[in-house]
Amino acid sequence: MPLEAMYAHFERHVYHRHSHEGYSFGVTEDGAQSFRCRGAGHTSVTGMVMAFNPDDPHDGHPADELGFTYRIIHIGTGLVTAVLADITGRPARLPLFTEPVRTDPVLARDLSALHRALLGEAPALRRDELLAAAVGSMARRAAARPGGIAVQAPSAGRAAARRAREVIEASPEADITAAQLAEAAGCSRFALHRAFTAAYGMTPGDYQRQVRLRVARQLIAQGWSISEAAAHAGFADQSHLTRWFGRYYGVTPGGYQHAVAAVG
């Protein structure tokens, strides 16, 4: 997921709690979206920017019956560091946002311009220029303090949570039990549950499903059929993938497949 863009209007859709591998920026164009992130409730209204750091758990739903319209861009961390290195001429640290919703007309303008170029027919050079402008804006407006934002578990718990995460990511399709995961992490099931949730903002089961969705999305983008992607990623069947894909990404696997094919 180096760079993805989506434009949508939702009146009843509810996003299940999830996070993204890279940055996610939503610019609310109309209406209001409410969500929970970092232990607090937030609302983004017309003109505001939602800024989610990598692995920043959040949900989302319309704030009222009128719904909301927004543009959202996902930018991979590797792409961000590469662009920042080009801009500054030196290795750059990843910027992190201290607040998940903000009023920032400059950032909103730059993100919207990049979004329109990605969904339109802008030349590659123009897209690169707009990407540099958007990444430059986010870097200038973010707190450049790696860490210090997520709730931290005790050091032993963080180590166990990290081992469990590595096990999940190594074989997301595996039907591993809580007891097996705890054994691999070197602690009890309950200690792991507490530590993992504190470290990553979601349970190991929710994180496993999210990783499976990421795998399925990548396979669909590569041309796999939806049923094949569902089976390979560890979903019970295509309908199971479809249900969760929509709850996480706001689009069906078929819709995503069509969009990727149109861009390609």
pLDDT at 92 over 70: yes
- Per-residue pLDDT tens for 184-207? 999 888 788 889 989 998 889 889
CATH 2.60.120.280 fits 3-141, yes or no: yes
Angle in degrees, 0-180, between the axes of helices 204-221 and 178-185, rounded to the nearest 10:
100
Are residues 202 and 191 in contact, defined by beta-carbon separation less than 8 angstroms?
no
Lowest mean pLDDT among 92-101, 121-130, 163-172, 244-253: 121-130
- Per-residue pLDDT tens for 162-187? 999 999 999 999 988 888 998 999 98
pLDDT at 148 over 60: no
Averaged pLDDT, 99-128:
89
CATH number of the 208-263 domain: 1.10.10.60
Return d(Cα 209, Cα 189) in angstroms, integer.
18
End-to-end CA distance of the chain: 15
Question: At 200, is the secondary structure helix, strand, or coil?
Answer: helix
Q: What pLDDT does residue 147 have? A: 36
pTM for the whole thing? Answer: 0.76
Mean pLDDT of the chain: 89
> What are the distances in angstroms from CA 46 to CA 31, 42, 193, 252?
6, 14, 38, 26
